[in-house]
Chain A
Amino acid sequence: MATITFRPARKSEQRLRFGRLAVYVFLLVGSLIALLPFVWMILASLKTGPEVRQIPPSFWPEAPTLDNYRTILTDPTLPLSLFYRNSAIIAISNVILAVGTSALFGYIFAKFDFPGKRALFWFIVATMMIPFQVTMIPGYLILAKLGLINKLTGLIIGSAFNAFGIFLVRQFALSIPGEMLDAARVDGASEWRIFWSIALPQLGPALATLGMMTFMWNWNAYLWPLIVLTEQNKRTLPIILNWYSTQHSNQIQLTMAASVLVIIPILFVFLLTQRWIVRGMTLSGMKG
């Protein structure tokens, strides 16, 4: 490391305090910028059509109204509960699949040796290197051949292999003491039982993290559902949101109310579970 030289310690107290103040001001401004789009969205969703259309626009709604939400929730072309349901089915199924298989294979990769292990592990890691855009075309063709286009199953069936999940769980499982497993073996427990009652509890935090991250990814996924689900009633929230906003390009108040309904619930889920998500990202050094 480069040699570090410092000027002698003669900093005036005042200058230090000014520095701290600057940091706080900077952070305040930064977090306002981070929150501004959300605020602008929520405020617009409370405005009337004419108010949104006026030039230049107002910031605070002149006469806040929930009419836009009423319009959306009663719009027969927009059965929101159906789209929530589609998104939820896909996200939850994929969480269960990804968590289950990743737990098992991550554990096996960490705690067992078998011929071809290195090659298989490197293949798994390598699949993470391949951009999704490469495999989406054949992926689509496979689903088409199987007749799974336009079916929620089509978005679930291929998700049981989660390279990221296997990798994440493996990193955690490496720290399970081998003695613990061997002791169970001596007691005559079957391997499946050992996995179920000894390894799984140890992997709990990793699996919680993986589960939350998988949920977020699937809930927000856009491109792959856009390709696989072509029928309006089968689609998921992000696709519907984009559809609605192009349909009402000049009725921004409606688009923003729809955005609030789609975005805000998931932000609450995040606030409740952020501990796990943040830890998962930090520990794995990976992103979605």
Chain B
Amino acid sequence: MRKVMLILSLLLVLGLVACGGGTNAPAQPTQPAADSGAEDSGAAESESIATEPVSLRIWTHQNNAFNAAYQTQIDAYMAANPNVTITLETFDYDTYIQTLQTSIPAGTEADIVQMFGSWVCSYADGGSLAEMPANVISMADAEAQIFPAQIGGYICNDKLYGVPQEFNIEYGATLVNTAAAEEAGLTDITSGWANWDEFIADAKALTVTQDGVITRTGYNYTAADALSASFYSLILQNGGQYLSEDGTFTVNTPEGMAALELLKRFVDEGIIDPVLFNGESNWVGESFFDGSSAMGLIGPWAVPEYSGDYPEVAAVTQYVDLPTVSGTQALVAASGWGLAVSQRSPAQDVAWDFVRFIALDPANAVQWNLASGTLPALQANIEGAAADELVAQFPHFGPWLGLLPFAQYEGAFPDRDLVWYEITYPRILSFLQGTATAEDTLVTLEREVRETFK
């Protein structure tokens, strides 16, 4: 009996592989232009694929709001395509990175994998990811429809390997606990600051100290993402460049020094103690929402993530644009979270069809953004009804929508996470904690990041 089952399932797999091969043929009837309605295209696709049962797995990192958003779309897709079963498997962030790194060489990854844009090329270059079929979206269409900073990470050697679903930006506006501000007498805090002096004055007023120990920091910007994004954005705002056209990384410059000096000023003014508040202890996400940070630098994805656990603070949370350096607005943004398809998936065509359904159909894409609380990667969704709907549901998006046009892709680092989290963050944190000088920090940072390009 068991043997029969084995043979049957083998035949099934072989059949699926054969189908997958078939749909790559140019005679594929699905038209990208016919992408008007999700249900239509889904139905058309399922007809062409045959109605044998297909099961797909999707891997994502653990984020309650994201995963609820995925599940909603998965359910909708499965309702439209009853032969398709999609299961969502999730991992916490650190584990997820490790899982991708170990599973992809081992060949045990899911059919569809959630990717952060800046990781895509390292997997695509190894031949593990499937190239986007032109009948799902052409390169030209993708570049026209998606923000350049977002699609950038998904293009490797002029080939497209996936689709971003959200605009990931960590710097530009700060979370403000308006209730805390009101208590401190700062009633007009949401109207913003003209310059850093004003900002620092307010942050100082929001800081609570007991026996010389900061129990509530005025401005928590020392987590890994926040610190790296601040540093590189401030270099741009000072008129510098950290990554040249030919890929040379340089931060040991007057602009780099100016950025460091501003970051150090918050510490010197007693707004934050970088030993008690950093990426490891009192991480900005939890710290802002549990009330131990009055302002916190973190991207808009954090608001839905923590609203459930801390409804009181979430209700009084608002984003306010940070001041700029001498009026120059420039922000670095990472590519966003999105989806890619495994080269090994036996049902690549169905997988891509689902990716189109969830990420390229503007109506579904904005639903996903609404459910996950993320900024859209599709340019179409940043204006008109979609934008109104986003801001209506997430008032905290208001400031960000205005900032997106100023965002630049953070640059093509061979190993972005290494640069961000293992070099930039610990180096600058050590400087803020007073265990390294500004000069040494810039020299070491520059040398260590350059090593990653070898």
Direct contact of A and B (CB under 8 A): yes
A162 on interface, CB distance cutoff 8 Å: no
* Complex contacts, A249 vs chain B, CB 8 Å: 283, 286
* Complex contacts, A171 vs chain B, CB 8 Å: none
* Complex contacts, B90 vs chain A, CB 8 Å: 77, 232
> Contact at A230–B286, with CB atoms within 8 Å?
no
**Separation in Å of the B276 CB from the closest CB of chain A?**
11
Cross-interface CB contact of B95 among A232, A233, A250, cutoff 8 Å: A232
> Contact at A144–B89, with CB atoms within 8 Å?
no
A55 on interface, CB distance cutoff 8 Å: yes
> Contact at B102–A230, with CB atoms within 8 Å?
yes
CA gap between A77 and B290 in the complex, in Å: 21
**Separation in Å of the B156 CB from the closest CB of chain A?**
24
> Contact at B64–A232, with CB atoms within 8 Å?
no
Given contacts A53-B292, A230-B99, A230-B103, 17 further A-B contacts (CB under 8 A): A144-B106, A147-B106, A147-B108, A227-B102, A230-B102, A231-B89, A231-B91, A231-B99, A232-B90, A232-B95, A243-B92, A243-B95, A246-B92, A247-B92, A249-B286, A250-B287, A251-B290
CA gap between A251 and B106 in the complex, in Å: 36
> Contact at A232–B103, with CB atoms within 8 Å?
no
In the complex with contacts A230-B102, A232-B95, A251-B108 CB distance below 8 A = no
> Contact at A150–B108, with CB atoms within 8 Å?
yes
* Complex contacts, A140 vs chain B, CB 8 Å: 102
Interface string of B179-221 (1 = CB under 8 A from A): 0000000000000000000000000000000100001000000
Interface string of B382-407 (1 = CB under 8 A from A): 00000000000000000000000000
Interface residue ranges of A62-90 to B (CB < 8 Å): 77
> Contact at B283–A144, with CB atoms within 8 Å?
no
For A249, give the chain B residue with the smallest CB separation: B286
CA gap between A230 and B107 in the complex, in Å: 13
CA gap between A115 and B62 in the complex, in Å: 56
* Complex contacts, B244 vs chain A, CB 8 Å: none
10 A-B pairs closest in CB distance: A144-B106, A250-B286, A230-B99, A149-B106, A243-B92, A250-B290, A150-B108, A149-B108, A232-B91, A249-B286
* Complex contacts, A144 vs chain B, CB 8 Å: 102, 105-108
In the complex with contacts A243-B95, A249-B286, A250-B290, A233-B89 CB distance below 8 A = yes
Residues of A within 8 A of B (CB): 53, 55, 77, 140, 143-144, 147, 149-150, 227, 230-233, 243, 246-247, 249-251
Interface residue ranges of B83-111 to A (CB < 8 Å): 89-92, 94-95, 98-99, 102-103, 105-108
> Contact at A232–B62, with CB atoms within 8 Å?
yes
* Complex contacts, B64 vs chain A, CB 8 Å: 77
For B90, give the chain A residue with the smallest CB separation: A232
* Complex contacts, A233 vs chain B, CB 8 Å: 89
CA gap between A144 and B286 in the complex, in Å: 37
B309 on interface, CB distance cutoff 8 Å: yes
**Separation in Å of the A35 CB from the closest CB of chain B?**
26
> Contact at B99–A147, with CB atoms within 8 Å?
no
